[in-house]
Amino acid sequence: MNDLTFKAFSGLNRLRCEHSKGFNHKLESWTLSDWFTATVGELGEAANVAKKLNRVRDGVVGNRETEAELRAKLAAEIADTFIYLDLLAQRMGLELAEIVPPTFDRKSREIGFPYLLQLTASDEGVSER
């Protein structure tokens, strides 16, 4: 799974969303606003877990789950957020594989960080500029 690409993930994510044996839910049947609601809903679930981890950090009572259970839940909610974010992007005709690297690299250049993601004809993978 370490070699999973944005493109491969996005393709299967959309297929599962729309396929009759998946969610049977066409991307276009939800608006951008609908996809944002889903995405931010998952991010909110992640934030709620973070609140509970803050309780662990600060020794505050109120949690029903162990710290290990909360960490596993946080991972799942972050993943849920990413899955919806990808569908949101696809709904708008955008591919994370196309939009994330240049945006990441633009900020890296802005702050003078020397390692960039985007490939040029002369290099492969992460490169120093």
Which residue lies nearer to Mg ion by CB, 37 or 108? 37
The one segment of 18-26, 44-52, 93-101, 114-122 that binds Mg ion by CB under 5 A: 44-52
Residues 58-97 interacting with Mg ion (rule: CB under 5 A)? 77, 80
Which residue lies nearer to Mg ion by CB, 86 or 116? 86
Q: Which residues does 50 contact at the CB level (< 8 Å), separation at least 6?
A: 74
Least separation in angstroms between residue 45's CB and Mg ion is 5
What whole-number distance in Å separates Cα of residue 1 and Cα of residue 25? 26
Least separation in angstroms between residue 46's CB and Mg ion is 8
CA geometry: angle 56, 57, 59, nearest 5 deg:
60
What whole-number distance in Å separates Cα of residue 65 and Cα of residue 70? 6
115-116 vs 127-128, strand pairing mode: antiparallel
The one segment of 22-30, 42-50, 96-104, 118-126 that binds Mg ion by CB under 5 A: 42-50
Which of 87, 68, 65, 81 minimizes the C-alpha distance to 12? Answer: 87
The one segment of 9-17, 40-48, 62-70, 97-105 that binds Mg ion by CB under 5 A: 40-48
Q: Applying CB under 5 A, which residues contact Mg ion?
A: 42, 45, 77, 80
